[in-house]
Amino acid sequence: MKIPFALVTFLAAVTTAPLAGQARKFVWPGIRGVPPTELLDTMGTPREVPFPVARVFSALEKVYAEIKVKPEVYAPPEQIGNQAFYARGSLAGRRMSSLLECGGGMTGPYADDYRIYMGLVTFVTPTPGNTSVVRSVLVGSAINVTEGVRPTQKCRSSGELELKIHEMMVKELTKTE
């Protein structure tokens, strides 16, 4: 039995080319004494917007100023963010436990009580037709500063901050002046 050439080509492409939903391995650099973090599919959810990259980047600058994260990673028009900052209790008007899942103890979620060292970067990629794909990445580690001997707690993003950044960016892009 002969297998059609198109089917062979399709199967070869599927098994060798990475798909949008396929996990990618990435090592986030260490954050202020916290060891490097190895993540899968760290690039977040890609969201396409019908605006050119320069305009998207300009909107993201305003969003980062509004959520009070000072951009240390600043590579217009492709990357904006900060790989090494910390917060305690809340960020961008939300409780830390709604943004990061770091485990919990008898007093509640660690994210609300511990100091959280974080990295937050947004990537903008141009696409054909003068549109852009935007992805935000949030990583963190919770450290109980009152008990220095305890190990750090790795945190996992809930996706809430990344979604909020996207919504704020779209709102900024669609403002009528």
> What digits encode the pLDDT tens for the residues 41-96?
446 889 999 999 999 999 999 999 999 999 999 999 999 999 999 999 999 999 99
> What count of Cα atoms within 13 Å lies in the side-chain half-sphere of residue 70?
5
Element (H, E) at 163: helix 160-173
> What count of Cα atoms within 13 Å lies in the side-chain half-sphere of residue 85?
15
**Fold that domain 23-173 belongs to in CATH:** TATA-Binding Protein (3.30.310)
Residue type, 60: L
Q: What pTM, to 2 d.p., does this model score?
A: 0.76
Given a contact cutoff of 8 angstroms between Cβ atoms, the answer to whether 123 and 116 are in contact is no
Beta bridge partners of 143: 115
| Residue with the larger pLDDT of the pair 98 and 33 | 98
Cα torsion angle, 85, 91, 96, 99, sign: negative
How much helix, strand and coil, in percent to the nearest 5, is found in the chain? 25, 40, 35
Give the model's pLDDT for residue 90.
94
